[in-house]
Structure 1
Amino acid sequence: MPAPNPYGPAVTSILVIEDDEAIGRHLHTGLRGNGYAATWSRTGVNGLAEAAHHRHDAVLLDLGLPDTDGMDVARRLRADHPDLLIVILTARSDEIDVIAGLDAGADDYLVKPFSLSVLLARLRAHLRRRPADAHTARQPIQLGDLTVDPSSRRCLAAGTEVVLRPKEFELLAALAQQPGIAVSREELMAQVWDANWFGPTKTLDVTMAALRRRLEAAEATLDQPRLPHIDTLRGHGYRLEPPPS
């Protein structure tokens, strides 16, 4: 288990894993100047070791590390720290790279170059929601063979767990709370990310696509699947359609 946050439980601790001297120093100084407890690691190996020995609330992870693939670091961080907020920092803007980063376990991404103010807005948006989500106990939602349990943050398909990234689960839970009801993109962004979200809604599309793939993969393993399906409502949002009774 990681050691407690040495700065105290009330201080948000951010781990920066970035090998570029100028960017790393800018992030480290900027985060500290805005009230965060920031730690800076210049390699993937050192970053993983730091995360293993001290508790952090979030990690800012560069993909272009000198010693290891940033995607591998993201996978290790997610496997070892399921509740950790992981934001990828990358110069790769192609959608395939964004999807790969999110599939590796990241919650969000920022394409370089980006401003410190945008990064801080993203962090605030994510971190404001996490404490409330972690302590909100609600009854499991049953839709056919799919069980969505917000209190334990588990998704089951006919009793078999479907492993979802944090934002994928929150997106599914938001839809499952209103089965058969059209939910707008704006409402989903407000529920899953933040009411004052600052940035493109492409994050919603990428997360939704990944959620669909995981549900389809789970459905393919069942003999007589009775899982809900996510319908796209063009110009509006999405609807979780319950399976026939």
Structure 2
Amino acid sequence: MPKILIVEDEPRIASVLSKGLVNRGFETVVVDQGQSAIHLTQGGDFDLILLDLDLPDQNGLSVLKAIREWGETLPIILLTVYDDLPHKIQGLTGGADDYLTKPFHLEELIARIQVQLRKRCQDRESPQMTLQVGNITLDLHQRQVQQANRIIELSTREFILLELLMRRSGEVVERMELLQEVWGYDYDTASNVVDVYVGYLRKKLGRRAIETVRGIGYRLRG
């Protein structure tokens, strides 16, 4: 079933949204802080986000920006009391897929959710959802990796890291960029998590699959 992240700090509204969506076959997770939404999006497996613009810790637009900056493409529908054109334009140009003004009917929201999920499904079926570098094939729709006709099981972080390296195949990707794109801008820059996960990928793909460029970063061999 589709999994939706609800980012809403008003308990009554969050409860109505969650119960209404669950009753119609969706799975929901509710948070009331923007930073929580950013962390969950990086580590979770959601199909869509409902994002309130007025959050207690930060503006919803900053949450939207953070999610888009690290490469997440899942649909985001903004929920807000602001119905003026400048706010709508700012939200849509900032990376939102849709914009719904409070108060709204639950049925309209569900219809908009279904439209976005259909679009995402169509996008995933596009041939562009497959990456190929050497004998490694990455299927973004199935979230599956093959190497020489062998299925490689990867964790979510390993998959995202490999996808980034494949999209930049032949280039040296700086270690700090990998840390920011895969783990987020607020992650401890002194952490060796990038090196650890590159090690995990080498164990699964072969030690020569990823080249270390000393003092700079990593490069996926073609």
Do these two structures clear the TM 0.5 threshold for a shared fold by scoring above it? yes
Alpha-carbon distance in 2 for matches of 1:136, 1:50: 27
Letter in 1 for 2:24: N
The equivalent residue for 2:198 is none
Alpha-carbon distance in 2 for matches of 1:93, 1:85: 20
Structure 1 residue aligned with 2:39, among 49, 52, 59? 49
The equivalent residue for 1:113 is 103
> Judging changes above 3 Å, is the alpha-carbon distance between structure 1 residues 81 and 119 closer, same or farther for their aligned structure 2 residues?
farther
Structure 1 residue aligned with 2:52, among 47, 50, 62? 62
Letter in 2 for 1:30: G
Letter in 2 for 1:89: L
Q: Does 1:30 align with 2:20?
A: yes
The equivalent residue for 1:186 is none
Q: Does 1:103 align with 2:93?
A: yes
Deviations 1:45-69 (A, max 9, x none): 1111221221111000000001101
Q: Which runs of 5+ in 1 are unaligned?
A: 1-10, 138-150, 153-245
Root-mean-square deviation (CA), in Å?
1.6
Conserved 8 A contact 2:74-2:120: no
Letter in 1 for 2:99: Y
Alpha-carbon distance in 1 for matches of 2:81, 2:92: 15
The equivalent residue for 1:133 is 123
Deviations 1:59-104 (A, max 9, x none): 0000000110110001111223432100000111111000111122
**How does 1:79-94 map onto structure 2 within 5 Å?**
79-94=69-84
Name the SS for the 1:82 alignment partner: coil
Alpha-carbon distance in 1 for matches of 2:31, 2:71: 17
Letter in 1 for 2:119: R
Deviations 1:109-163 (A, max 9, x none): 10000011000000111111211222223xxxxxxxxxxxxx37xxxxxxxxxxx
Alpha-carbon distance in 1 for matches of 2:107, 2:38: 26
Name the SS for the 1:96 alignment partner: helix
Structure 1 residue aligned with 2:7, among 7, 11, 17? 17
Structure 1 residue ranges (4+ consecutive) displaced by more than 4 angstroms after TM superposition: none
Letter in 1 for 2:115: A
Structure 2 residue aligned with 1:39, among 20, 29, 44? 29
Q: TM-score, normalised by structure 2?
A: 0.56
Conserved 8 A contact 1:72-1:104: no
Letter in 1 for 2:78: I
Q: Which runs of 5+ in 2 are unaligned?
A: 130-222
| Equivalent residues, number | 130
Work out the percentage of aligned pairs sharing the same amino acid.
Answer: 36
Name the SS for the 1:55 alignment partner: coil
**How does 1:191-206 map onto structure 2 within 5 Å?**
none
Structure 2 residue aligned with 1:124, among 69, 92, 114? 114
Name the SS for the 1:131 alignment partner: helix
Q: TM-score, normalised by structure 1?
A: 0.51
